[in-house]
Amino acid sequence: MRGVECLFCAIAAGAQPAQIVLDDEVAVAFLDTRPVFKGHVLVVPREHAETLTDLPVPAVGPFFQRVQTVAAAVEEGLSAAGTFVAMNNRISQSVAHLHVHVVPRNRKDGLRGFFWPRMKYADEAEAASYAEKIRSALPG
């Protein structure tokens, strides 16, 4: 599933709107529209790969460097105490395009185990403000 058939490929191509926080030749990172906590980012490889095992070996390191960079930006940009970084492969994977969840965490935030309650942004302006905070914390 490539191109416009894949939601994340469409976002990476700019054909589908999203609150983008990182966009380069390797990956695109954007706010999850149904965040666990506000500032929850999805990092996807620019080239379509359904699962981690489908990602070409030479692409794994550069992709996870982007995940690491976004995790640091989420912490810094949102003054979060830490992050929860997770990935599903096929099971519980709502979009069949590899994606890594980077969720801001703080002590006593209510997240327990793998139960992920979802939130909503009040509006696009609030979502845009979270994306900007994270973007501004990216290096370079």
Catalytic, 99? Answer yes
pLDDT of residue 17: 97
Q: How many domains does the chain have?
A: 1
Whether residue 27 is contained in a domain is answered as yes
Write out pLDDT tens, residues 23-62: 999 999 999 999 999 999 999 999 999 999 999 999 999 9
The yes-or-no verdict on residue 116 having pLDDT over 80 is: no
**pTM summary value:** 0.86
Whether residue 85 is contained in a domain is answered as yes
The yes-or-no verdict on residue 10 having pLDDT over 90 is: yes
Whether residue 37 is contained in a domain is answered as yes
Whether residue 131 is contained in a domain is answered as no
Whether residue 130 is contained in a domain is answered as no
> Residue 126 — φ and ψ, nearest 5°?
-65, -45
Kindly name the residue from 40, 48, 97, 99 that is annotated as catalytic.
99
Which of 107, 36, 24, 108 lies closest to 69, judged by CA? 24
Average pLDDT, the chain: 93
**Which residue segment(s) compose the domain that 70 sits in?**
7-111
Whether residue 48 is contained in a domain is answered as yes
pLDDT of residue 114: 62
- The percent of residues in the chain predicted with pLDDT above 90, rounded, is 85
Whether residue 40 is contained in a domain is answered as yes
The yes-or-no verdict on residue 3 having pLDDT over 60 is: no
The yes-or-no verdict on residue 1 having pLDDT over 70 is: no
CA angle 130–135–140, rounded 5-degree value: 165
Look up the CATH number of the domain holding residue 28.
3.30.428.10
Confidence label for 2 from pLDDT (cuts 50, 70 and 90): low
- Burial 69-78, CB ≥16 within 10 A → b, else e: bbbbbbbebb
Whether 51 contacts 97, CB under 8 Å = no
